Structure 1
Amino acid sequence: MDQRLGDFLAAIATTGNMTKAAQSLFVTQPYISQTVRRAENELNVVLVTRDHQPLTLTYAGQRVLTYLQAQHQLQTAMQQELKQLTNHAAGSLTLAINQPLAALWLPEILPALYAQFPQLHLNIQELTTSEAEQRLPTGKIDVFIGKAIYDHRLAFQPLGRLKLALVVPANSDIQPQAEQPLAALTNQPFIRIAAPSRFQEVVDHYFQDNGITVINRLEVPDSRIALALATAQLGSMVTGWDTSKTALKNHPDQIRIYPIPTNQVALDMGITYPAHHHSAVLTQLVQLTMTKLLPLL
């Protein structure tokens, strides 16, 4: 099919005349007529009504024009995006990170990375550890910052243990003790993260090992929602210590926070990437992550 068929059909629809359509496109009238006839034979439909003036497109002609215009838009978008990627001399990298750490950690890392690779195209995704564990070996993401992943196909650089906190609504009458704050949750409303969540698995195992039975009032997709609902006085939840401090600063009259000793519950954090991947950008990202984040844990 002639690549200019879409232009010809659009011009016929606008002018209602083959000759005027040809003049507007600086081609001959026979060329347009032959192109349209050829397409009609190929598609086995009539595209233009020729039994009256002005000429109009049939319904089939309108649909063909719509599809051809959409195809042209996709082609243009693809070319523009590929041109942008070509201009990224440092290439493109897909970085995944545990929610809600992106807002806390990436501002510590990325300015220094872009100082060295200003043309880098970076795609940032917030993923659970389970999702990252599936996507890393298949190349759907290039690197993951978050809870530890152990896989022989992947390289893992440990960062340390992420300190956690118990967040309690201000309307709750429980009084967690410093030596074992989670014990106070027995028979209390709790907001848990839905499976699959390695974070919630760690917390659940601690509950089971220590005979703590909570009332799972709410099950939510991620810790941001859990924290918002705890702030709304709907139950207690567990999150990162730094996240809890920010929440307390923003809502001092709505929640209380209690640090959880790292020898009870904590998360082993690190940066994970395919073992065979050794680009200059990734190497620098790993080094910056180790340098910038270690003091924060």
Structure 2
Amino acid sequence: MLFRQLEYLVALARERHFARAAQSCYVSQPALSEAVRKLEEELDVPLVRRGRSYEGLTPEGERIVVWAQRILADRDALKDEIGALRTGLSGRIRIGTVPNASGAVSLLTAPLCAAHPLVTVEVLADLRSEEILRRLRDFEIDAGLLYLDGQLPEGFSALPLYEERYVLLTGVADRTAQGATATWAEASRLPLCLLGGAMQGRRVLDEVFEEAGVRPSPRVETDSVGALFSHVRTGRWASVVPHTWLQVFGVPHGMRAVPLVGPERTVPVGLVVHAREPGSVMARALTAVARETDVAAALERVPGDP
């Protein structure tokens, strides 16, 4: 009963609405409300600020939610551990990635599923680094692929995987595409389609453009790497994309991928998991696969390089 009460409280904190929380837990709203009320009685502390509608958690409720997330995560990890000992690893692993890294995640999920045939994978792409860390902290995902160019907050551990580098993607008829390389200054003068300015991948590009002494003015912005390729395919646009995505799409007919120099810039990308021990058995399995997989070598050759 306690686990169920904690699940309902976590759902209420997440949904911030009694009806939506009840729906996410597949129970009636009165059942959820009564379970939360009984939890308040057992703990002898108010957890929810009540008015005409949900008004948020009390300070005590906010702290209890953190403990509830940990307790539920440990319960699930224990179940997975026992299941792995009995029949091998099974269940679903949840992986969050920043948009630029989602093209490389299959290099880990493929060997993971080969080693553990009963495991299924859920990939949440197009997340910001901050959102990945929040979901890891709240035990909503098991692992994340994100940039390691800053200091990770306490409570997380990281395994470097590869260095992201960048290419200019443009039409074969473009004069800039004729050379073995292109400069960031040359790229800035083209009609560009780039990731949106709020995304970390775009902020990295802006820093490199600034280092080159130029400021691009993209005509099109998007939160999808796939949309970048589709716009370049029209012949009207050029883009700057991570080399990892060439492993997914290749270099489509009519396009050319030219390495960018002046300056050459790489950004480390790694696998981040919760540092708590023993932690998620899924996260441990993925980390073991990542240690045995040379992701950098798999991404070293960029299709379309001269």
Q: TM-score range by the shorter chain?
A: 0.5 to 0.7
* 2:200 is the alignment partner of 1:198: yes
CA drift of 1:156 comes to 0.9
Q: Secondary structure at the match of 1:127?
A: coil
For the Cα contact (< 8 Å) 2:168–2:187, is it kept in 1?
A: no
Match of 2:143 in 1: 143
Partners of 2:113 and 2:202 lie apart in 1 by 34
Match of 1:168 in 2: 170
Match of 1:128 in 2: 127
Unaligned runs of 5+ in 1: 1-70, 76-84
Match of 2:216 in 1: 214
Where in structure 2 are the equivalents of 1:7-156 lying within 5 Å? 90-99=90-99, 101-102=101-102, 104-106=104-106, 108-130=107-129, 131-148=131-148, 150-156=152-158
For the Cα contact (< 8 Å) 2:251–2:257, is it kept in 1?
A: no
CA drift of 1:246 comes to 5.7
* 2:282 is the alignment partner of 1:285: no
Letter in 1 for 2:200: R
Identity %: 15
CA drift of 1:134 comes to 3.0
Letter in 2 for 1:114: C
Query: Are residues 129 and 287 of structure 1, via their aligned partners in 2, closer, same or farther at CA, if it must alter by over 3 Å?
Result: farther
For the Cα contact (< 8 Å) 2:157–2:273, is it kept in 1?
A: yes
Partners of 1:158 and 1:123 lie apart in 2 by 21
- TM-score of the aligned structures, taking structure 2 as reference length: 0.59
Partners of 1:273 and 1:97 lie apart in 2 by 12
Q: Secondary structure at the match of 1:174?
A: helix
* 2:238 is the alignment partner of 1:239: no
Aligned-residue CA RMSD (Å)? 3.1
Q: Secondary structure at the match of 2:288?
A: helix
CA drift of 1:138 comes to 2.0
For the Cα contact (< 8 Å) 1:97–1:127, is it kept in 2?
A: yes
CA drift of 1:248 comes to 5.3
For the Cα contact (< 8 Å) 1:88–1:119, is it kept in 2?
A: no
Query: Are residues 273 and 184 of structure 1, via their aligned partners in 2, closer, same or farther at CA, if it must alter by over 3 Å?
Result: same
Query: Are residues 220 and 173 of structure 1, via their aligned partners in 2, closer, same or farther at CA, if it must alter by over 3 Å?
Result: same
Query: Are residues 208 and 151 of structure 1, via their aligned partners in 2, closer, same or farther at CA, if it must alter by over 3 Å?
Result: same
Match of 1:55 in 2: none
For the Cα contact (< 8 Å) 1:153–1:274, is it kept in 2?
A: yes
Partners of 1:296 and 1:151 lie apart in 2 by 29
CA drift of 1:157 comes to 1.0
Query: Are residues 290 and 152 of structure 1, via their aligned partners in 2, closer, same or farther at CA, if it must alter by over 3 Å?
Result: same
Match of 1:49 in 2: none
Match of 2:46 in 1: none
For the Cα contact (< 8 Å) 2:195–2:224, is it kept in 1?
A: yes
Partners of 1:176 and 1:213 lie apart in 2 by 23
CA drift of 1:201 comes to 0.7
Partners of 2:245 and 2:159 lie apart in 1 by 23
User: 1:250-288 CA distances to partner (integer Å, 9 max, x unpaired)?
Assistant: 32x2x2211135962222111001111533332221121
Letter in 2 for 1:159: L
User: 1:118-168 CA distances to partner (integer Å, 9 max, x unpaired)?
Assistant: 333432211333331332222222201232262222111111312221112
- TM-score of the aligned structures, taking structure 1 as reference length: 0.61
Query: Are residues 291 and 116 of structure 1, via their aligned partners in 2, closer, same or farther at CA, if it must alter by over 3 Å?
Result: closer
For the Cα contact (< 8 Å) 1:164–1:240, is it kept in 2?
A: yes
CA drift of 1:196 comes to 2.8
Partners of 1:200 and 1:247 lie apart in 2 by 20
For the Cα contact (< 8 Å) 1:117–1:281, is it kept in 2?
A: no
Letter in 1 for 2:138: T
